[in-house]
Amino acid sequence: MKGDKGKRISRRDFLAVSSAAAAGGVVGGLVAGGLAGYFVGQSVAGPARTETVTKTTTVGGVTVTTTAVQTQTVTRTVGGLEDAPRKIKIGATVSETGILTASVGLLGKAYKAAERLINQAGGIYVEEYGRRLPVEIIYYDDKSDPATTERFYTRLATEDQVDIMIGPFTAVNAIPASAIAERFGVPHIDGAAAEKPIFNKKWVVGCLDLVEKWLTAYFEMVDWYKENKRYKIETVAFANSDEPFGNEVTDYGIKLAEARGISVVGVEKYTFDTTDFTPIITKFKAVDPDVIIMTDPVGILQAVFWKQAFELGLRPRDFHPAFGLLKAVRDAMGPQLSDGITSDDWVPPELPYESDLGKRFYEKVQAAAGYKHDEYPWQTIHYVCLEIALKAVQVAGSLDKEKIRDALYRMRITTIGGLWHAARPPDEFAGRGTILPVPIQYIGGVKRVLWPPELATGEWVYPAPWAR
């Protein structure tokens, strides 16, 4: 991670800054920690009123006339949200149906729960209007389909005329959505996608850093455990869906492995309609990799692979399914096969960060929408996008789209996922965010954060229980 002038910020410095914000510090001139950062401005100062006062008095039989200019600032109390001149309109799509439902199926309910709770708290203060405005989140079911996604983002931009957009789940939908935002000039925050084609646009920023970096912390952890715990990790094999997300994570993962002297002994690709992984499993069994890393945005396919691998006797020392955190994936594996897997968590609640729309507020959103983070962790990424969107409106002090876009590029704020800002030109992928996942492992059905050391809640068990 780099600062404004290209100076590298260490992970420890990052944690220090974010922890200070968690305690109510200031990041980039913005106070973090507590709902007050959003819900301010109930009483507002109106324009100064100037008047001339003439006074006549008689002193010792002489009449004296004096003139004075008085200036008074009138403070008024704004009305309730019901008489607001307009709403802050945020647009999105959600995969409530289709193959991506297991990952973000309750995101629409989360959006509407957040909308209701924000408005119950009094809305968001916007300086241009001198008062709080209600929030309206408009979303549609994209059916996990790129063409449907494109049609609905076009509707959000043209018919609904939203002020700001939050991107859909995964690359196949997020890439066309970002193109629509660029075409119609609507500020757009990419959510759980972050592929390269999304960025280097005028109107688009991302919550996450490039998705290809997904495995960065995992391989940092591998380095440390090899050196300090003498873990024997010499070979790795990759399997991924043949689409932008899977390909980018695997391609970069290969570079990370080879840079550490770990031999890549297999790279296999599959399609979303794959139900029989026997050919891939047979190849992997022949080379017996220490680690198998599997990546696709469906998630359930990773469970299908793992069950078939066990039946065919494939036993790597670590299995790292990218979506192994999802409850649906672990349930499909069953308790025996899911116990000991490693995976990655985006914005786990164990992180020590706080923000304006903070952890307690998000707990209320989850309770109202009927889920917990570990069941739908990618939905938490979109909650962070909502944090960023509302802060951009507040920093802009306006609902003018260009001012909101400029605010997105100027802001440096703390979210529940940590310090966030958008990379600026001439960065090759201008707009990309800063948030990356952390490795986790389930032991005895309990999740452990494994890395970095400052955040770890447990040690990495390697080899996994089923590999011994």
Instruction: Give the per-residue SS3 of 157-192.
Output: HHCCCCCEEECCCCHHHHHHHHHHHHHHCCCEEECC
DSSP notation for 416-466: TTEEE----TTSTTTT---B--EEEEEETTEEEE-SSTTT-SS---SS-GG
3-state secondary structure of 220: helix
Q: Do the domains spanning 11-31+81-208+349-436 and 213-345+439-467 agree at the CATH topology level?
A: yes
User: CATH classification of 213-345+439-467 is 3.40.50.2300, yes or no?
Assistant: yes
Rounded to an integer, what distance in angstroms lies between the CA atom of residue 204 and that of residue 431?
A: 6
**Which structure tokens are listed for 158?**
């043209």
Q: Return all residues near 59 (Cβ < 8 A) that are at least 6 apart.
A: none
Into which CATH architecture does domain 11-31+81-208+349-436 fall? 3-Layer(aba) Sandwich (3.40)
pLDDT per residue rounded down to tens, the chain (468 residues): 433 333 444 444 434 333 333 333 333 333 333 344 555 444 344 444 445 445 554 444 444 444 444 444 444 444 588 899 999 999 999 999 999 998 999 999 999 999 999 999 999 999 999 999 999 999 999 999 999 999 999 999 999 999 999 999 999 999 999 999 999 999 999 999 999 999 999 999 999 999 999 999 999 999 999 999 999 999 999 999 999 999 999 999 999 999 999 999 999 999 999 999 999 999 999 999 999 999 999 899 999 999 999 999 999 999 999 999 988 899 999 999 999 999 999 899 988 888 888 899 999 999 999 999 989 999 999 999 999 999 999 999 999 999 999 999 999 999 999 999 999 999 999 999 999 999 999 999 899 999 999 889 999 999 999 887
DSSP notation for 408-421: HHH--EEETTEEE-
- The pLDDT of residue 57: 46
CA-based radius of gyration for the chain: 26
9, 3, 4, 10: which is closest to 452 by C-alpha? 10
| Domain range annotation of the chain | 11-31+81-208+349-436, 213-345+439-467
Rounded to an integer, what distance in angstroms lies between the CA atom of residue 382 and that of residue 394?
A: 19
- The pLDDT of residue 77: 42
338, 336, 274: which is closest to 303 by C-alpha? 338
H or E element, residue 359: helix 359-369
- The pLDDT of residue 40: 45
**Which structure tokens are listed for 62?**
């002489």
**Which structure tokens are listed for 94?**
């959600």
**72, 89 in Cβ contact below 8 A?**
no
Per DSSP bridges, beta strands 135-141 and 88-94 are parallel
Q: What is the pTM of this model?
A: 0.81
- The pLDDT of residue 38: 58
**342, 460 in Cβ contact below 8 A?**
yes
384, 346, 343: which is closest to 362 by C-alpha? 384
Q: Count of CB atoms within 10 A of residue 234's CB?
A: 12
Rounded to an integer, what distance in angstroms lies between the CA atom of residue 303 and that of residue 282?
A: 17
